[in-house]
Amino acid sequence: MSFHEVLAHDLIRELGAVSAPFERILYSSSGAVASITISREDKLNALDSATIGELLRAFLIARSNGDVRAVILTGAGAKAFVAGADIAEMARLSPDEARRFAERGQELTRLIEAMPKPVIAAVNGFALGGGCEIALSCHIRIASENARFGQPEVKIGLLPGFGGSQRLPRLVGKGRALELLLTGGMIDAAEALRIGLVNKVVTSGSVVAAAEEMAGAIAANSPLAIEYCMAAVSSGLEMPLEESLRMEAALFGLCFSSDDMREGTRAFLEKRPARFTGK
């Protein structure tokens, strides 16, 4: 069992019934796409401990649902994806409680990052602090033109705690990451696109629709091949090139033992859409 599988197993055991009702998020699925919406619009979807716990449960549900092939994560309303962690709650934490809060947030971002199904962040407004960190852990980021990104923790005497100091430089490079981390400044969607922080920018109000379109395109492909692609990229980035190429060849060969590969090649030759099962 891999580290990420152990993490998911431990979270299921710790969180108990993942089917308990949600109060701070909305979870739905349509066809092969699951949607998770952080629903604290009056708080600009800020993350408190309870919201993090609900997000952990929601992603475990999506992970375990064999019908789900892609996940969209967004925030309620037009102002914010997630405006950051709940400062009122954080201000009361002791140093030890703060460390545990950071570790809990990291469990969430690691769970998202390790999902075997692509997670698309539909960033509709502010993605600051913990919100930016959650977006960074998603596999693809689509931003509304009114989106704003930043890690402003230094402005209140902190540093990112949910993985931002580690994922941001891996995504945009050390220099740009340090500029954002040390100034605590915000960048707009256009600049986020320019530096590679987001994949695409769309007009305000259309970000969820754009995410749905992309999720649908992904879901039409072989779930097994998608999972192997994601594993190859995620693991390969941490390996020397020669080692990662051997892993890619091994996964390529493994595909040839799958029903999806046989169905895909047969459908191509028969000039018809493939009907993939993920087996």
Query: Catalytic positions, please?
Result: 133, 153
**Residues pairing with 38 in the sheet:** 25, 75
Q: Do residues 219 and 33 make contact, with C-beta atoms less than 8 angstroms apart? A: yes
Token pair of 254 as six digits: 């493994």
The helix (run of H) or strand (run of E) holding residue 244 is helix 241-255
Residue whose C-alpha is closest to residue 136's, from 197, 60, 186, 207? 197
Q: Do residues 32 and 219 make contact, with C-beta atoms less than 8 angstroms apart? A: yes
At 83, give phi and psi (nearest 5°).
-80, 0
In which region does residue 41 sit, left (phi positive, over 0), alpha (psi from -120 to 50) or beta (all else)? alpha
